[in-house]
Amino acid sequence: LGFSGQLAVFDPRQTESPCYHCLFPETGDDAPLRCAEAGVFAPLVGVIGAAQAQEALKCLAKTGQSLVGRLMLWDGMTSDVRVLKVPRDPACAVCQTRI
């Protein structure tokens, strides 16, 4: 949204990989903010899209270090990148039964 982009890799083949629900659990409190309402800085789509393609190719080629278990935040206003650890939630309603 706006000038900010996020990127994460969720790989259910890896037992310690969190799922989307681990990162963004449903709380029922939040009204969804849509791109159509908030706008998107057009070049941001290309930057994040290229990074997504890179992550997909790394997974397919089984090379490099993927973003599994991490969330990359990109600030298009400053071109700063932050990477946060995202642990798997052992009580997650979606992936808690994954072995």
Which active-site residues does the annotation give? 35
Which residue type occupies 15? T
- The set of residues, in sequence order, having a beta carbon less than 8 Å from that of 95 and lying 6+ positions away, is 12, 18, 19, 21, 22, 88, 89
Q: Are 19 and 94 in contact (CB under 8 A)?
A: yes
35: nearest Cα among 71, 72, 62, 2: 2
What is the Cα–Cα distance from 78 to 13, expressed in whole angstroms? Answer: 35
